[in-house]
Chains A and B, each alone.
Chain A
Amino acid sequence: MAECISLMSASSFNQADIISTVEFNYSGELLATGDKGGRVVIFQREQESKNRPHSRGEYNVYSTFQSHEPEFDYLKSLEIEEKINKIRWLPQQNAAHSLLSTNDKTIKLWKISQRDKRAEGYNLKDEDGRLRDPFRITSLRVPVLLPMDRMVEASPRRIFANAHTYHINSISVNSDHETYLSADDLRVNLWHLEITDRSFNIVDIKPANMEELTEVITAAECHPHQCNVFVYSSSKGTIRLCDMRAAALCDRQSKFFEEPEDPSSRSFFSEIISSISDVKFSHSGRYMMTRDYLSVKVWDLNMENRPVETYQVHEYLRSKLCSLYENDCIFDKFECCWNGADSAIMTGSYNNFFRMFDRNTRRDITLEASRENSKPRAILKARKVSTGGKRKKDEISVDSLDFNKKILHTAWHPKENVIAVAATNNLYIFQDKIN
């Protein structure tokens, strides 16, 4: 049973407030969101304390900063959007937190640090900061640390620019904690976190003649444990697993994952709906999950010819593909995520619905992220879309689904049953009541 613990939203609807990415950090204490206006908002979980037993681990705003600004490419006379495409946290190495955020062209490493103490009693300067007259200094004292209001500041520590001709769609931190990869439509680059002026190109699928281009890279991710392995997915529904030890340029894959097409369901839209919008390794590293337009597939890395599990997200849309092509919804890129134990997966749909599948029991549930049923501590009710002629009470018919309300971005807490769901410009956080 899921209950809503927080709902954050802007007071008035502004295009710039549309959330474009959501990501928990490694401990789950922090939740970062990026939006279309180039801003990053970080939420921190309140520590449950005896004083406030009902706070139940709410997430409150911790820091807000402008990560990317709109730019203009003078060479091509084109604007570069400031929309944050992805945020990935770096493992915490000291008191500060670091994350990578990227727009279409530039990746930035931000350090977020907090100060809640200040020093008082300096020898050489007085309380205002003015230098003290040397003649006045007659004795030596040790400054003391006094508490102050918590101040969180974010500063850009690295800017990784000018390495991508096409739009960056993915970034992924490697398990060695030293390198990370970034992928655009045609290339994948490998960076060192400390070095900003160069990157290694490890995959390049750009054809010599652009007119021969029929396939693009849609997502890429590093393996969670093997720092030499990564995968990238394509618009043709294939996934390639590459080993960086094999060659400097990983154009030839080590493994090639593709499910053979079902000839009976072939249509002009087959390729478009097979295009993979997201790929995620399981925490264990044994499986990976891919999201295409209508389904989520779980693959065993040891079996290339077909997925081990397939979950239908909204099969009722199959008969509406022509309309969805016309209104461009068929190109929507939905993300997917695993829970901490890899026993459940979650992905979004239309009408502010999102779906969760339990891999063990094979049960699935559809929930809605809407203001009406998301008052704090409200329990979410399962929803159902009616596909047949008869519509039961409480069911929604396919034709009354709102295709403007799409949930593209979701995230699952790495350890607990807490999920974050982004619905346009609203962020919903739900937790499992049983916990």
Chain B
Amino acid sequence: MFPKGTKRKFSDSGDEPAAGGEDVNQPSSVAVRMLSSYSLQRQSLLDMSLIKLQLCHMLVEPNLCRSVLIANTVRQIQEEMTQDGTWQIMTQALSAANAAAQCSADRLVATEVLCRQTEATQGEQVLKPFPAVGSEGCPAEEEVVVEEEGEGGVTMSTVSPQAPTSYLPGTFGMDPCWEEENGEDEEEDEDSEECGSGSEEGDSDRLVEDSRTAEQVFGTFEIKNPAPSPDPALEELFSDVDASYYDLDTVLTGMQSAPKMGPYDLLESLSSHGPSPLSSSTSCRSDLNELDHIMEIIVGS
């Protein structure tokens, strides 16, 4: 998994990562950092790809070749995340959150959104478009503080998809998206400068998309797990979002069609009411306007 010839930043710990992940602490911390750095980069690549897919959809007529290539990249990342168990971790966390806390939709969205918020911005205000979002930070048990120094020397482009089987993801906690990196934002920015936006505005833009991303990502697990009893707050939250927006078919062809259950189709499982009625391009356009409006609010323009 680690590319050949990559300089290890932490040269004093020349020892290899512990096999089997038995010893979580010392020798494996280096590899933990590298692994989490890789996971972070992979996550950021996933986010970027999902944003691009959505932007594709917003264009006049999406370039099919580009959409297909990005969708394939997303699939590849998802497959790898499934293989190394990261996907399952997120499911478990989600269902744990469901079970533990009264299954309040607010809380559900709050944890995801806020964790991303903390990650992407430097303690910016809670967003208005998500009125149901609570104000608490990530629950402590889901938090893993990761110290990153620099970029960890692992670049996305040279990593092989073979998941490190010696690493039980459980040992280092949750998937990076749950990690709180309060003091690490600059580094995260640096880190993602290669791969993502470095500007404040870019982060804000990412924010909305990240939230959506989180919804999309977690939405797929709702398919696997039995959906919780319908919650009015949750329905209200998602009621005005166009279901077909996340339809891969729509994304790929730019044509509005009957919303089908696809790999990225989530709202139908999340919300209890049936699939949204077939919407025309105009309503999609009005949703786009709404989204623009929301983004303007975030950006503060």
**Which A residues fall within an 8 A CB radius of B?**
76-81, 104, 166-167, 185-186, 210-211, 213-216, 218, 235, 263-269, 271-272, 275, 318-323, 325-326, 328, 331
Contact = CB atoms under 8 A, between A and B. Distances in A.
Contact of B157 (A186, A210, A271, A318): A318
Contact of B262 (A80, A81, A185, A211): A211
A214 B161 CA distance: 19
24 contacts: A76-B254, A76-B255, A77-B281, A77-B285, A78-B61, A78-B281, A104-B61, A218-B65, A235-B68, A266-B160, A267-B156, A268-B45, A268-B77, A269-B156, A271-B69, A271-B72, A319-B155, A320-B157, A322-B157, A325-B45, A326-B197, A328-B66, A331-B65, A331-B66
A299 to B, nearest CB: 21
B151 to A, nearest CB: 11
B68 A215 contact: yes
Q: Which 10 A-B pairs have the closest CB atoms?
A: A77-B281, A321-B157, A185-B64, A322-B195, A267-B157, A78-B61, A210-B249, A322-B156, A211-B262, A216-B65
A322 B46 CA distance: 12
B64 A166 contact: yes
Interface string B51-72: 0100000001101111011011
Contacts of A166: 64
B159 interface: yes
Contacts, number: 107
Given A78-B60, A326-B48, A266 B161 contact: yes
Contacts of B76: 268, 271
Contact of A264 (B4, B42, B65, B197): B4
A325 B60 contact: no
Given A80-B61, A211-B249, A322-B195, 20 more contacts: A77-B282, A78-B61, A81-B60, A167-B61, A210-B248, A211-B260, A211-B263, A235-B65, A235-B69, A268-B42, A268-B156, A271-B69, A272-B73, A275-B65, A275-B69, A318-B157, A319-B155, A323-B195, A325-B45, A326-B48
A166 B64 CA distance: 8
B253 interface: yes
Contacts of A267: 156-160
Contacts of A271: 69, 72-73, 76
Contact of B45 (A213, A318, A322, A331): A322
Given A268-B156, A319-B155, A211 B63 contact: no
Residue with the greatest number of chain A CB neighbours at <10 A, chosen from B41, B68, B260: B68
Contact of B281 (A76, A104, A322): A76
Nearest to A73: B61
A216 B196 CA distance: 27
A185 B65 CA distance: 7
A266 B73 CA distance: 13
A233 B155 CA distance: 30
Contacts of B41: 322
B243 interface: no
Which secondary structure dominates chain B's binding surface? helix
- Looking at A214, A318, A322, the one whose CB has the most chain B CB atoms below 10 A away is A322
Interface string B146-185: 0000000001111111000000000000000000000000
Nearest to B282: A77
Contacts of A213: 68, 252
Contacts of A322: 41, 45, 155-157, 194-195
B48 A325 contact: yes
Interface of B: 4, 41-42, 45, 48, 52, 60-61, 63-66, 68-69, 71-73, 76-77, 155-161, 194-197, 248-249, 252-255, 260, 262-263, 281-282, 285
Given A211-B260, A275-B69, A323-B195, A167 B63 contact: yes
Contacts of B282: 77
Contacts of B77: 268
A218 B68 CA distance: 12
Pick from B48, B69, B255 the residue with the most CB of A within 10 Å. B69
Contacts of B263: 211
A61 B60 CA distance: 34
B5 to A, nearest CB: 11
Contacts of B160: 263-264, 266-267
Given A264-B4, A267-B157, A323-B195, A78 B73 contact: no
A80 B60 CA distance: 9
A272 B69 contact: yes
A321 B159 CA distance: 12
B252 A210 contact: yes
Contacts of B159: 267-268
Contacts of A331: 63, 65-66, 69
Nearest to A206: B253
Contacts of B61: 76, 78-80, 104, 167
B195 A78 contact: no
A216 B254 contact: no
Contacts of A216: 64-65, 68
Contacts of B195: 322-323, 325-326
B280 to A, nearest CB: 8
A264 B6 CA distance: 13
Contacts of B65: 185, 216, 218, 235, 275, 331
A79 B60 CA distance: 6
Contacts of B42: 268
B79 to A, nearest CB: 11
Which one of B42, B65, B281 has the greatest number of beta carbons of chain A within 10 Å? B65
A211 B248 contact: yes
Contacts of A326: 48, 194-197
Nearest to A166: B64
A325 B262 CA distance: 25
Contacts of A77: 281-282, 285
- Which of A210, A213, A266 has the most chain B CB atoms closer than 10 A to its own CB? A210
B252 A214 contact: no
A322 B263 CA distance: 24
Contacts of B249: 210-211
A269 B157 contact: yes
Contacts of A320: 157
A166 B255 CA distance: 11
A67 to B, nearest CB: 20
